[in-house]
Amino acid sequence: MSERIRFSGRAVLVTGASSGIGRACALALGAEGARVGVAGRRRARLEETATAIRKSGGEALVLEGDVRDEAVCKRWALACEQAFGPLHGLVNAAGVLGNGAIDTTEPAEWDRVMDSNVRSLYLMTRAAAESLKRTKGSVVNLSSVGGTRPYGGLAAYCVSKAAVDMITRCAALDFAPHGVRVNAVNPGVVVTELHTVTQAVADYPAFLERGKSTHPIGRVGTAEEVASLILYLLSDDAGWITGACMPIDGGRALASAR
């Protein structure tokens, strides 16, 4: 069976589709025949993603807005359903990074990280729920190795990703009677704009070089590698997997803090 048939004609909404892992997921889904709602805040970048999907023979719908806004999430879910039919999949890939210890993180920064990484995921999943129930669809949330263990100076981020893991498990139980599966992936360091867009890392090349020692496998990851796991979890091949938080981190979670 051709891999393209895995998502042929299926509607999937991807948040954070303008860059990084979200964009890699949207492109991979389009290449495998999905009808993709590409959602995020940067319209020009979303248009680039949509154009690439169409060039590969897929269908794409640009959805601009802030995923932290409940009305936006409802609008995105409705627009996808009107354009493509009920959603078969949802990828919650939108998120932010925030530096700071508990005593140095300002309340406004704490709220920004929590709203972006946790509240937005809850709002988007809630908005898509009825559509997903009709198709017995699948949700994949983008978590982090930081959700499974603490890292100094990343308090809000680690707490937010631990919350993503728990939301994943709770939603998996809540949606199981409806045939909807909910899983998460927990990447280590991946080459994306996450660390550079807010200048969270002063010397990014040096940070990636250091990743060769902090990840036991000897390198950092790529967005395409994480997208491959996400597509597997979305697909019928993973039909008996729900509530899982799957590491894809080059062994990072196994290593001692450094």
Per-residue pLDDT, 209: 79
Among 122, 151, 157, 232, the one annotated catalytic? 157
Task: Mark whether 204 is an active-site residue.
Answer: no
Backbone region of residue 181 per phi and psi (left: phi > 0; alpha: psi in -120 to 50; beta: other values) = beta
User: pTM value?
Assistant: 0.93
Domain count, the chain: 1
Domain annotation covers residue 257? no
Give per-residue pLDDT as tens, 81-132: 999 999 999 999 999 999 999 999 999 999 999 999 999 999 999 999 999 9
CATH number at residue 231: 3.40.50.720
Mark 172-201 as b/e (b = at least 16 C-beta within 10 Å).
beebeeeebbbbbbbbbbbbbebbeeeebb
Contact 241, 183 (CB under 8 A): yes
Contact 14, 26 (CB under 8 A): yes
Query: Domain of 188?
Result: 3-251
Per-residue pLDDT, 2: 44
Domain annotation covers residue 15? yes
Per-residue pLDDT, 13: 98
Contact 39, 46 (CB under 8 A): yes
CB neighbours (10 Å) of residue 154? Answer: 21
Give the closest residue to 136 by CA, choosing from 242, 60, 27: 242
Q: What is the mean pLDDT of each run of 10 residues along the chain (258 residues)?
A: 74 97 98 97 97 94 98 98 98 95 97 98 98 98 96 96 98 98 97 64 73 88 97 98 97 81
